[in-house]
Amino acid sequence: MVKVITYGTYDLLHQGHINLLKRAKELGDYLIVGVTNDSFDRDRGKLNVRNNVLERVEAVKATGLADQIIIEDYVGQKIDDIQKYDVDIFAIGSDWEGKFDYLNEFCKVVYLPRTEGISSTMLRAESERVVKIGVVGCGRIAERFVPETSHVDAAEVAGIYDLDRKKAEEFAARHGGLRIYDSYEELMGNVDAVYIATPHLSHYHQARQALENGLHVLCETPLVLNSSQAKELYALAAEKSLVLLEANKTAFCPAFNHLVTLVKSGLIGDVVGVDASESKLWGSERLKRELDPAQAGGSLFEMGSYPLLPIVRLLGVDYENVNIYSRMNEDGVDVYTRGIMRFGNAVASFQLGLGVKTEGSLIISGTKGYAYVPSPWWKTDYFELRYEDQNSNKKYFYSWNEPGLRYEIREFVSCIINERTVSSRMTPKESICIAGIMEQFIDRKNVFEI
- Residue-level pLDDT at 45: 44
As to burial, measured by CB atoms within 10 angstroms (0-12 exposed, 13-18 middle, 19+ buried), residue 175 is middle
As to burial, measured by CB atoms within 10 angstroms (0-12 exposed, 13-18 middle, 19+ buried), residue 111 is middle
SS3 category, 349 = strand
For residue 130, the one-letter residue type is: V
Q: What is the pLDDT along the chain (450 residues), one digit of tens a residue?
A: 999 999 998 887 888 899 999 999 999 999 999 998 865 545 444 455 467 778 889 999 999 999 999 998 777 899 999 999 999 999 999 989 999 999 999 999 999 998 765 555 555 555 567 999 999 999 999 999 999 999 888 899 999 999 999 999 999 999 999 999 999 999 999 999 999 999 999 999 999 999 999 999 999 999 999 999 999 999 999 999 999 999 999 999 989 998 999 999 999 999 999 999 999 886 655 667 888 888 999 999 999 999 999 999 999 999 999 999 999 999 999 999 999 999 999 999 999 999 899 999 999 999 999 999 999 999 998 999 999 999 999 999 887 888 999 999 999 998 998 899 999 999 999 999 999 999 999 999 999 999
Distance CA 441, CA 271 (A): 26
Rg of the Cα atoms in the chain: 24
Distance CA 377, CA 360 (A): 7
Domain with CATH 3.40.50.720 in the chain: 129-250
- Residue-level pLDDT at 43: 45
Domain with CATH 3.40.50.620 in the chain: 3-123
Distance CA 92, CA 419 (A): 32
Q: Would you say 382 and 396 are in contact if contact means Cβ atoms under 8 Å apart?
A: yes
Verify cis geometry, omega within 30 degrees of 0, for the bond prior to 376: yes
Q: Would you say 195 and 223 are in contact if contact means Cβ atoms under 8 Å apart?
A: no
- Residue-level pLDDT at 283: 62
Strand partners, 322: 341
Tell me how far apart the terminal alpha carbons of the chain are, to the nearest angstrom: 67
- Residue-level pLDDT at 47: 55
Distance CA 245, CA 230 (A): 11
SS3 category, 322 = strand
Contacting residues for 247 by C-beta, under 8 A, at least 6 apart: 195, 218, 219, 220, 221, 405, 408, 412
Task: Tell me the backbone φ, ψ of residue 400, rounded to 5 degrees.
Answer: -125, 120
**How much of the chain is in helix, strand and coil states, percent to nearest 5?**
35, 25, 40
**Side-chain-facing half-sphere of 336: CA atoms under 13 Å:** 9
Reported CATH class of domain 129-250 = alpha beta
Reported CATH class of domain 3-123 = alpha beta
SS3 category, 7 = strand
Distance CA 133, CA 135 (A): 6
DSSP 222-251: SS-S-HHHHHHHHHHHHHTT--EEEE-GGG
CA 182 to chain CA mean position, Å? 32
Q: How many CB atoms lie within 10 A of CB 327?
A: 15
For residue 274, the one-letter residue type is: V
Domain with CATH 3.30.360.10 in the chain: 257-399
What's the DSSP call for residue 206?
Answer: H
- Residue-level pLDDT at 401: 86
CATH number listed for the domain at residues 257-399? 3.30.360.10
Q: Would you say 412 and 245 are in contact if contact means Cβ atoms under 8 Å apart?
A: yes
For residue 365, the one-letter residue type is: S
- Residue-level pLDDT at 397: 86
Q: Which of 302, 296, 306 is nearest to 282 (CA)?
A: 302
Q: Would you say 386 and 372 are in contact if contact means Cβ atoms under 8 Å apart?
A: yes
- Degrees to nearest 5, angle at CA 116 with 112 and 121: 100
SS3 category, 253 = coil
Q: Would you say 343 and 274 are in contact if contact means Cβ atoms under 8 Å apart?
A: no
Strand stretches in 381-441, DSSP E = 382-386, 394-397
